[in-house]
Amino acid sequence: MKIQANIFRKLTLFAALCILTIFKAQSQSSLNSNDFRFMNPELTLKQRVDDLVLRLTLDEKILQMQHTAPAIERLGIPQYNWWNECLHGVARNGIATVFPQAIGIAATFNPPLIKQEADVISTEARAKYYEAISKGSHEIYQGLTFWSPNINIFRDPRWGRGQETYGEDPFLTSQVGKAFVQGLQGNDPDYFKVIATAKHFAVHSGPESQRHKFDAWPSQRDLYDTYLPAFEVLVKEAKVYSVMTCYNRVFGIPSSANTFLFKETLRGKWGFNGYVVSDCWAISDIYSFHNFVPTAEKAVALTLKAGTDLSCGPEYGSLKKAVELGYITENELDVSVKRLFEARFRLGLFDPSSKVIYSAIPATEYDTPAHQELAHQVALQSIVLLKNDNNILPLTSKSRTIAVIGPYANDTSVLLGNYNGIPSHPVTMLQGIRNKAGKSTKVIYCQGVNKPEVQALRSENVNFSADPLFSEAISVSMTADVIIFAGGISPNLEGEEMDVKVPGFSAGDRTTLDLPQNQQKLLEKLKLIGKPIILLLTNGSALAINWAQQNATAIVETWYPGEEGGNAVADVLFGNYNPAGRLPVTFYKSVDDIPAFEDYSMKGRTYKYFKGTPLYAFGYGLSYTSFNYEVAELKAKSLNVTDTIVVSVKISNTGKFNGDEVIQVYAKQPIALKDQPIKSLIAFQRVQFGKGEMKEVILSIPVSRLRHFNPDIKDYAIAKGEYELLIGAASDDIKFKTIVTIE
């Protein structure tokens, strides 16, 4: 049946490709006979856009400024829907390759790999687009303008959408985000492969229950040193062509109408020349929840004047009345309309396929074996080994019988995260273990406990020991040589503005960092059996697994690992791959260790400002092998602000396995500066080492990365003086310290 299904799918796609070829030919024929100047690709972009917009009526312009832009048949302009998602693969548009969730992407600490991933995603996006237009379809999630990546700072582990981000550090976020945008947008000088959108600008990270009315007031230092840097890098270096607003207010002004954010900073200081889209229905919040202005007409006038060009939602339907009332002029409206059509021209949507190199991508180029293999590789590199007592991992032939227990062992939802596509062949943890265990190993499975989202539907006063699943797990585990427990939380519990009635969760956010109670109870019972316990964590945010750190034999952080998650985890368990992922967030011991969720001050948050002892530190991750940092040297110890710091580190793999090491460099500001971070990541590199191999790793670090925000001058500055550089394998595992002087 599977073979027949594959043949049918290929025939269907082949037919779609034929139709697409006819469509392109017809488009070329139409172009040749079309007298409209904007259809002439020999003219400049400005000439074409000006000509097109000059032909539009006010009503037509307004319709083109909403995410569902209808066709303008008299001009031969097809319908276009701006709303598409690709957080970790083409989302919500049928079958597509599903990579690990964004937080797992960050855990790879490997921007070049993530650029490859994004390139594959944009290839699949083009293929999906061509498949759709071959059928005459221009619906939501079928276009080429994507609302990814989410580069908000994951400042608090309670935030349910933190899984969509690249973690808590501005530098790591900027480097992974930059690679992702470059992979999506491509490197053609004339056309974008797809358009990426950096979101949500800015100072946005929960709580979800308050996002439509919350007012964030960070300090100027936190704003410029934490919340804005990744956006600046994506605009200036990655040339991201779209930015999305957020729901909340910033300094009292709703983001979508915030001239400080969009006029002064984004376009003024950073030179952004793309377009801005509102978060969905965020403009409605301005008058419905923020009560900033009383009417839709005043709200749309403010957002347009601030630089929000496109409304996700129907709000810009009020622009005509706003023009009639004198709140906004048609000339002001034209600025945004031109920006939006510039984007569509730069995607090649009005040009013959012979001029657009990406037109050569066939409509069948998604969910391919090569793309699935890359999803496997990214999943492998995202896995973080948190504990490995007595080198229980990798598992050997001594483990003849393995008990696989846990609510998420055979569950596909924990593979996918949110904003996901649909994989054709998702591999659960249980399936992966069975695939890799070998014929001589017996794998026994029992769920053990209900998922938290199911357990919540039952009485809160559950006697877990009397639960049949609970009893079966104990019985099964007693016959095993090793117990693998797949537990944690799921994207059915944490996410965007969710309505889930589960203890420990609120509106998609979390109120506790602990494991769900029934899982904790079962783990404690399993411990009494006396067999080794390997805990596989599924989650998009940090968990306070204090008991497990003390009592489990090994702990493997898998995140939401994508369609190949089960195979990747099994490869790690059985030694086919040596894990080297690193934590992109701090794991705290308790929710009591961090400030109130609503407090946007960075004091006491993340490795940069947290003065307590974490359960696991930012940048932490173990390996099956060992590395010896032999020497670290600076090419020059005295530099000026325009120079580059060159750090040379000699490292040897002294263990028994090939493996990767992630070299990390942190900096401390001069002692004379007040209220500075404890340390800040300024460089990292993931490097492969063969068993017994020694390498000299060179890290080039622009002195500009040492900058800090100076409130006195209201701008960035690089202080003169001595900076301590910390070189090691994690933020709390420093091998060398050295001093560089900036003159």
Please write the tens of the pLDDT for every residue from 669-681: 999 999 999 999 9
Which phi and psi (to 5°) does residue 730 adopt?
-170, 170
| pLDDT score at 462 | 60
CA-to-CA separations, 676 to 670, 717, 731, in angstroms, rounded: 9, 13, 16
Query: CA–CA separation, 93 vs 9, rounded Å?
Result: 16
Transcribe 285-321 into DSSP letters: HHHHTS-SSSSHHHHHHHHHHHT--BBSSSGGGGHHH
Instruction: Return the percentage of the chain with pLDDT > 90, whole number.
Output: 92
131 neighbors 16 (Cβ within 8 angstroms) = yes
Tell me the residue length of the chain: 743
> Angle formed by the axes of helices 565-573 and 369-382, to 10°?
50
Query: CA–CA separation, 654 vs 627, rounded Å?
Result: 6
Query: CA–CA separation, 429 vs 445, rounded Å?
Result: 11
579 neighbors 595 (Cβ within 8 angstroms) = no
Query: CA–CA separation, 586 vs 513, rounded Å?
Result: 12
538 neighbors 486 (Cβ within 8 angstroms) = yes
Question: What are the structural domains, with CATH classification, of the chain?
Answer: 2-360 (3.20.20.300), 380-609 (3.40.50.1700), 627-742 (2.60.40.10)
Which of 494, 557, 563, 661 is an active site residue?
A: 494
Mean of all residue pLDDT scores within the chain: 94
Radius of gyration from C-alpha coordinates of the chain: 27
Helix (H) or strand (E) holding 46: helix 45-54
The pLDDT of residue 461 is above 80:
no
Helix (H) or strand (E) holding 254: strand 253-254
Query: CA–CA separation, 558 vs 564, rounded Å?
Result: 11
Average pLDDT over residues 293-319: 98
CA-to-CA separations, 723 to 423, 568, 696, 742, in angstroms, rounded: 48, 40, 23, 8
Active site residue 279: yes
User: Dihedral sign, CA of 624, 625, 626, 631?
Assistant: negative
Helix (H) or strand (E) holding 26: helix 2-32
Query: CA–CA separation, 293 vs 249, rounded Å?
Result: 13
Lowest pLDDT segment from 33-42, 136-145, 647-656, 683-692: 33-42
CA-to-CA separations, 579 to 380, 427, 575, in angstroms, rounded: 7, 19, 9
161 neighbors 120 (Cβ within 8 angstroms) = no
Residue 456's pLDDT band (cuts 50, 70, 90):
low
| pLDDT score at 7 | 44
Residue 464's pLDDT band (cuts 50, 70, 90):
low
Average pLDDT over residues 419-444: 96
Active site residue 593: no
Query: CA–CA separation, 246 vs 243, rounded Å?
Result: 10
| pLDDT score at 625 | 98
The pLDDT of residue 26 is above 60:
no
Which runs of E-coded beta strand occur in 571-718?
627-634, 638-639, 644-653, 659-668, 680-689, 694-702, 708-710, 715-717
Which of 85, 131, 279, 411 is an active site residue?
A: 279
User: Dihedral sign, CA of 319, 324, 330, 332?
Assistant: negative
Which phi and psi (to 5°) does residue 104 adopt?
-70, -35
CA-to-CA separations, 259 to 254, 316, 388, in angstroms, rounded: 10, 18, 52
Question: 394's torsion region: left (phi>0), alpha (psi -120 to 50) or beta?
Answer: beta
Note the pLDDT tens digit of each residue in 205-242: 999 999 999 999 999 999 999 999 999 999 999 999 99
Note the pLDDT tens digit of each residue in 359-406: 999 999 999 999 999 999 999 999 999 999 999 999 998 889 999 999
159 neighbors 591 (Cβ within 8 angstroms) = no
| pLDDT score at 344 | 98
Residue 27's pLDDT band (cuts 50, 70, 90):
very low
| pLDDT score at 115 | 98
Average pLDDT over residues 314-339: 98
Which residues are CB-contacts of 4 (< 8 A; sequence separation ≥ 6)? none
| pLDDT score at 397 | 81
The pLDDT of residue 193 is above 90:
yes
Transcribe 143-194 into DSSP letters: SSB----B------TT-GGGGGS--S-HHHHHHHHHHHHHHHH-S-SS--SS
Query: CA–CA separation, 430 vs 404, rounded Å?
Result: 7
- C-alpha angle 507-511-515 in degrees, rounded to nearest 5: 110
Query: CA–CA separation, 172 vs 705, rounded Å?
Result: 12
Query: CA–CA separation, 627 vs 652, rounded Å?
Result: 6
Six-digit token string for 718: 């690089």
| pLDDT score at 24 | 44
Six-digit token string for 183: 């992979």
| pLDDT score at 453 | 84
The pLDDT of residue 66 is above 70:
yes
Which runs of E-coded beta strand occur in 361-451?
384-388, 401-405, 442-446
